[in-house]
Amino acid sequence: MNEILCRACGEGTLKRFLELGGMPPVNAFLDESEIQKEKKYPLNLAYCPKCLLVQIEEIVPPEELFSNYLHLSSASVSNINHLKDVADTLNKRFDITSDTSILEIGSNDATLLGFLKQHTDNLLGVDPAKNLAQLSREKGIETLTDFFNTRTAEEIVKTQGLFDIIVALNVIPHTPDVVDLLRGVKKTLSPDGTLVMEGAYALETVLQGEFDTIYHEHVYSFSLHSLISTFDRAGLKIVDVEKIPTQGGSLRIFAKRKEDAGEHSKEMISILDEEKEKGLNNRAIYDQVENKVKNFKTQLKQIIENEKRSYGKLIALGSPARGIVITNYCKIGKDDIDYMIDDTPLKQGKYSPGMHVPIKSWNALDRNEKRTFLLLSWNYKDHLIKKLKENVESARVIIPFPKLEVQEIG
């Protein structure tokens, strides 16, 4: 392959360690008339030997991915509960008052800002999706329809001033020019302000073979080492970090302007030591990933064939980005899955990217028919299995990660 320099540090030459083939944009759900015009793009994963940042090689223009977005923060009860927990965490940590100003980057349909509105009206959302920005405004949340970067940061400071808290949940890993976004954060952050970021943790997802967090929207999979390096280039310093269970394993980062930051927390030092012990800077940890992914594909295909022989075509639970990656890489399509059930009204009646499986609501289920379900939204396992029990008498459920297994319910 042609040499590609790291997008964050600009110095390391990327080393490819996983090829997932051609992949459509994972949130581009289709009407039947759009199937023939669907685009796919190469999806290869590499890492930077200098700053250790895991990243995809080929970038799809963000305008193609985010301008009309069908993932809703409010479509999943589990996600709503997580965002409520985030709001409670922010309130507890920062003692939010009516004077506190909060900016959310990638605010989606303003579910999080809606919870924070209980404490302050000084709220601003920024999101490039016009359809989502309109939903946010209907909730009374001021929203700028644009990508967040140094340009928009300067505009925001002119009209809104500086912000005490800036929140970016699973959006910084989605931004190709991540350093420019973080420089925009520095421009917009008050001297005492804090950036709160969440993103999938490479050490607990990708490097364990959980490849379903890899897609074109998700440009980066961060480790704490790579985050420190990336933030430093933008004039920011990470001061604290928490491990959280979302996305199969994520980091929640707290960062400040470098000139206003204190020392690293004990938890942060502990995680850095753990990354070193697990060999994050060792090529071998990356070389093992491809075999893990190929073995998963072989095992999952065999399980599906066995289940089809007994119970017919499967039904998928959820059609999340991670599920679209699994079905496309493993070539699980209409011969294997009857349909996908998803709570998001914007997806229902459409077809899944790549494999073109129809999306339906829970009403499609036959309560008395025993089927096997493929749990694509496995990170919301407890909630979805509970809901499945309410809709069918009995079923078998294939759970892809963190351990590939089949469970019997009912």
Enumerate domains of the chain plus CATH numbers. 65-286 (3.40.50.150), 289-409 (3.40.50.720)
> pTM for the whole thing?
0.86
The pLDDT value recorded for residue 1 is 53
**Bridge-based pairing state of the strands 236-244 and 405-409:** unpaired
Residue 133 has pLDDT above 80, yes or no: no
Residue 272 has pLDDT above 90, yes or no: yes
Residue 131 has pLDDT above 90, yes or no: no
The larger pLDDT score, comparing residue 27 to residue 362, is at: 362
Peptide linkage before 402 cis (omega within 30 of 0) = yes
Residue 88 has pLDDT above 60, yes or no: yes
Which residues in 15-36 are b (16+ Cβ under 10 Å) and which e? eebbebeebbbbbbbbeeeeee
Rounded to whole angstroms, how far apart are CA atoms 150 and 239? 23
Q: Are 54 and 75 in contact (CB under 8 A)?
A: no
Q: If pLDDT is split at 50, 70 and 90, which confidence band does 75 have?
A: low
**Burial of 251 from C-beta contacts in 10 A (0-12 / 13-18 / 19+):** buried
The pLDDT value recorded for residue 5 is 93
In this structure, what is the dihedral angle of CA atoms 370, 350, 175, 173, given to the nearest 10 degrees? 0
Q: Which residues does 71 contact at the CB level (< 8 Å), separation at least 6?
A: 27, 108, 320, 321, 344
Rounded to whole angstroms, how far apart are CA atoms 386 and 380? 10
Residue 79 has pLDDT above 90, yes or no: no
**Tens digit of each residue's pLDDT (9 = 90 or more) over 295-315:** 999 999 999 999 999 999 999
Rounded to whole angstroms, how far apart are CA atoms 162 and 277? 40
What average pLDDT score do residues 90-101 get? Answer: 96
**Tens digit of each residue's pLDDT (9 = 90 or more) over 363-394:** 999 999 999 999 999 988 998 999 999 999 99
**Burial of 318 from C-beta contacts in 10 A (0-12 / 13-18 / 19+):** buried
Residue 64 has pLDDT above 90, yes or no: no
The pLDDT value recorded for residue 410 is 82
**Tens digit of each residue's pLDDT (9 = 90 or more) over 206-229:** 999 999 999 998 899 999 999 999
Report long-range pairs for 344-347 (Cβ below 8 Å, ≥24 apart).
344/70, 344/71, 344/72, 344/75, 344/319, 345/75, 346/29, 346/70, 346/72, 346/75, 346/131, 347/29, 347/70, 347/319
What average pLDDT score do residues 81-86 get? Answer: 92
Which residues pair with residue 257 across a beta bridge?
236
Residue 138 has pLDDT above 90, yes or no: no
